[in-house]
Amino acid sequence: MNYRHAYHAGNFADVVKHVVLTRLLEYLKQKDKAFRVIDTHAGIGRYDLSSTEAQKTGEWQGGIGRLVGANLDAKAATLLAPYLEAVRALNPDGGPDGGLKKYPGSPLIARHLLRKQDRLTAIELHPDDANRLKAVFASDFQARVIELDGWLALGAHLPPKEKRGLVLIDPPFEEAGEFDRLVDGLVKAHKRWPGGIYALWYPIKDRKAVIAFRKALKQTGIPKLLDIEFEIRPASSEPSLDGSGMLVVNPPFTLEGELRLLLPTLHRLLVVGRPADWSLRWLAGEAG
């Protein structure tokens, strides 16, 4: 387990992933009934953008750094507000044009959007990271941090007692076979809790692996699969993160329309080289 998210926190892929996360949570909040968020690969929750790791890559400057203070049309601004507010909540002294010092990871963003009836279960396998996250949520009765293998959590913690909510699966992709684990994990989880919303993050680096992943997803027979593809540059000759994807299972009916409004704006702000594009497609269900 060598992966350290501190090098990448706030990069373009985090931005897209966390914006999708906030739109899913905003939908869940439309009903009073309590929901649960299960974050199977949670990380440390709070990232210092002046750390040696963040400074070394500077990735956040090509991500959240391009959003803060950007000109947004009214509709995009409204849809991005929950995300940007979660970022600002961690940067109370930051000016509107930036001045970011910290970036919130998925558990902090989710926690920021919970109401008093909602709960967060954050799973993290790395002992140091799990301890840091435990410290972030110390004495917070709405958030529980568990040091555990996230893939096991998909069996042990589903369905949650609220029977409403979202599972974010955001593995590090540092070992071979992660795409297969993602498909297997989803199938197992979906059997235990077919009604849950699932959001799976994946890298667009090895295009053949992505095509095989999508094919395997279609073959699962899971009925509602919306796939988001977000490329920031054309395929590199050396393996590099040229884009990222998110697969949403059981997406709220609002999500596709919201993303069709948001993704062009995010793409305009985050693209690095062309041709590179975004796309939204149903692998199963709706149009599929």
Question: Site for ligand SAM (CB under 6 A): which residue of 120, 123, 199, 259?
Answer: 123
User: Taking CB positions, which residue lies at the least distance from ligand SAM?
Assistant: 105
Owner of token pair 């599972």: 167
User: Nearest distance from residue 107's CB to ligand SAM, in Å?
Assistant: 7
Q: Of the listed pieces 143-151, 205-213, 215-223, 258-266, which binds ligand SAM according to CB under 6 A? A: 143-151
The answer to the question of whether 106 is labelled as a binding residue is yes
CA atoms within 13 A on the CB side of 57: 17
Our CB check for ligand SAM shows the closer of 5 and 190 to be: 5
Question: Site for ligand SAM (CB under 6 A): which residue of 63, 150, 196, 243?
Answer: 150
Q: Tell me whether strands 225-231 and 243-249 are parallel, antiparallel or unpaired.
A: antiparallel
Site track for ligand SAM across 155-184, x = CB under 6 A:
---------------x-x------------
| Residues 6+ positions from 71 with CB-CB distance below 8 Å | none
Q: Residue 115 has which token pair? A: 């109401």
Q: Of the listed pieces 36-44, 61-69, 87-95, 207-215, which binds ligand SAM according to CB under 6 A? A: 36-44
Residues 279, 16, 213, CA angle at the centre, nearest 5°?
55
State which amino acid sits at residue 5. Answer: H
Q: Residue 148 has which token pair? A: 């555990």
Is 126 near ligand SAM (CB under 6 A)? yes
Is 59 near ligand SAM (CB under 6 A)? no
Buried b (16+ CB within 10 A) or exposed e, 125-141: bbeebbebbbebbeeee
The site for ligand SAM, by CB under 6 A, has a size of 21
Question: Site for ligand SAM (CB under 6 A): which residue of 49, 76, 83, 129?
Answer: 129
State how far the Cα of 124 lies from the Cα of 176, in Å rounded to an integer.
19
Is 149 near ligand SAM (CB under 6 A)? yes
Q: In angstroms, what CA-CA distances link 47 with 5, 256, 261? A: 9, 30, 29
Active site residue 170: yes
Our CB check for ligand SAM shows the closer of 103 and 284 to be: 103
Selecting among 14, 170, 227, 242, the annotated active-site residue is 170
Owner of token pair 């600002």: 88
Contact, 53 vs 7, CB < 8 A? Answer: yes
Is 5 near ligand SAM (CB under 6 A)? yes
State how far the Cα of 129 lies from the Cα of 167, in Å rounded to an integer.
19
Instruction: Report the residue count for the chain.
Output: 288
Our CB check for ligand SAM shows the closer of 3 and 282 to be: 3
Q: Which residues bind ligand SAM (CB under 6 A)?
A: 1, 3, 5, 14, 17, 39, 41-43, 105-106, 123-126, 129, 149-151, 170, 172
Residues assigned a catalytic role = 170
In the annotated binding site for S-adenosyl-L-methionine, the residues are 18, 41, 106, 124, 149-150, 170
